[in-house]
Amino acid sequence: MNKTPITSLGEFGLIDHLTRNIKQYDNGTIKGIGDDTAAIDAGDDLILLTKDLLVEGVHFNIMYTPLKHLGYKSIAVNLSDIYAMNGTPTQVIVGIAISSRYTVEALDEIYDGMKLACEKYKVDLVGGDTTSSVSGLFISVTAMGKVPKDKITYRSGAKANDLICVSGNLGGAYAGLLVLEREKEVFKANPQSQPDLNQFAYVLERQLKPEPRKDIVDLLMEKEIVPTSMIDISDGLASEILHICKSSGVGAVIYEEKIPVDVQTATVAHEFKIDPTTFALNGGEDYELLFTINQEDYDKISALEEIAVIGHITENPAQTDLISTSGNVITIRAQGWDSFREDS
């Protein structure tokens, strides 16, 4: 029998393959696989459940990742999924596997970062598991949250003529990663070198200590805006808009000139001789929110500095276009992070 390499499917193809025949047996499961979180019936509210796994050598490099930052990030990226459902995170459970080269003091640093994130976002760490590892460090976090049933926002609600919006700015986390990888190679060649990274402070923070956008969810609630669809940007803008289009059965048009990119991100992109738009489309790990709204909400959202309208939804599911600054029409393709792709 022929064997199929996992790399031939990629991460999302593998998920589709493994989950294609999964059945739901409990009537309380309102939403299962296929969104930022699962949604479980709890009366007037829905309980939200999500999990992320961080693996040494795949998701982080311990050579340049401070352990306290790593602990913080492991919580933050899970809370981002809850906010992407328009929800409020409430609890987390942590699983961790560690090799013998890690000390108790190292674990203290990781948990200090986790506790800091829990304190900032008012989330309870309520349990977990620890075990040994023969190879490196593994962190698995399950996050729970809740949302009123009439406020839940799935990936699947976008409609033709809805406006496409994004919070903050994009590409910064990838810019930070490239700087760290460059300095790692310099250090390996000359361990006596002492890099000056002050000029890269913003993009390094975007990579090492991302912040989930609770403030955006609160702002939308304040303005009485319920997005028609929403997703957090963990794998790049291109990948996430394609997720929304696939789930909603629609198409999209995005305008390059409207995509928000920070000045420092653009500077790093030019240093590496890469178009800053490529960082935004394919970089990933920004953990900003990508969402769609009814056109009637445009006046409410247009004055909000932290939110940019970057395009609109179309009826044609086959149309996923980027209009470049020069007016060219480019088909959007997902080329961001994929842990099973050979070149990732």
CATH code of residue 312: 3.90.650.10
Give Cα 199 to chain centroid, integer Å.
25
Is 29 inside a domain boundary? no
Indicate if 134 and 171 belong to the same structural domain: no
pLDDT in tens, 213-264: 999 999 999 999 999 999 999 999 999 999 999 999 999 999 999 999 999 9
Domain that holds residue 47: 35-148
Q: How many domains does the chain fold into?
A: 2
Name, in order, each residue with C-beta under 8 angstroms of 298's C-beta and a sequence gap of 6 or more: 163, 309
What pLDDT is stored for residue 12 in this prediction? 61
User: Is residue 95 predicted with pLDDT exceeding 50?
Assistant: yes
Which alpha helices (DSSP H) does 94-251 contain, by range?
A: 104-121, 172-189, 201-208, 214-222, 237-248
Last residue of a domain, one of 116, 148, 180: 148
Do residues 202 and 327 both lie within one domain? yes
Question: Are 192 and 324 found together in one domain?
Answer: yes
pLDDT band at 336 (very low <50, low <70, confident <90, very high): low
Tell me, yes or no, whether 159 and 268 share the same domain.
yes
> Whole-angstrom Cα distance, residue 88 to residue 34?
19
Is residue 86 assigned to a domain? yes
Domain check: are 314 and 241 in the same one?
yes
Residue 186 placed within a domain: yes
pLDDT of residue 11: 64
At 117, the pLDDT band (50, 70, 90 cuts) reads very high
Distance CA 183, CA 195 (A): 7
pLDDT exceeds cutoff 50 at 339? no
Mean pLDDT computed over 126-137: 94
User: Which whole number is the average pLDDT over 36-52?
Assistant: 96
Same domain, 240 and 287: yes
Query: Does the pLDDT of residue 141 top 60, yes or no?
Result: yes
Within-domain flag for 25: no
Per-chain mean pLDDT for the chain: 93
Same domain, 99 and 185: no
**Residue 255 falls within a domain, yes or no?**
yes
Q: Within this chain, do residues 186 and 284 fall inside the same structural domain, yes or no?
A: yes
Euclidean distance between CA atoms 71 and 180, whole angstroms: 18
Q: Are residues 278 and 136 in the same domain?
A: no
Q: pLDDT (tens digit, 9 = 90+) per residue, 292-310?
A: 999 999 999 998 999 999 9
Residue 321 has pLDDT above 70, yes or no: yes
30 domain-assigned: no
Within-domain flag for 12: no
What's the pLDDT band for 195 if we cut at 50, 70, 90? Answer: confident
CB atoms within 10 A of CB 72: 24
Residues 56 and 192 in one domain: no
> Where among 148, 173, 204 does a domain terminate?
148
User: Phi and psi (nearest 5°) for 134?
Assistant: -85, -5
Instruction: Out of 90, 118, 148, pick the residue that ends a domain.
Output: 148
Q: Do 46 and 135 lie in a common domain?
A: yes
Q: What is the CATH number of the domain that holds 141?
A: 3.30.1330.10
Is 6 part of a structural domain of the chain?
Answer: no
pLDDT at 341: 47
Q: Are residues 85 and 165 in the same domain?
A: no
- Is residue 340's pLDDT more than 60? no
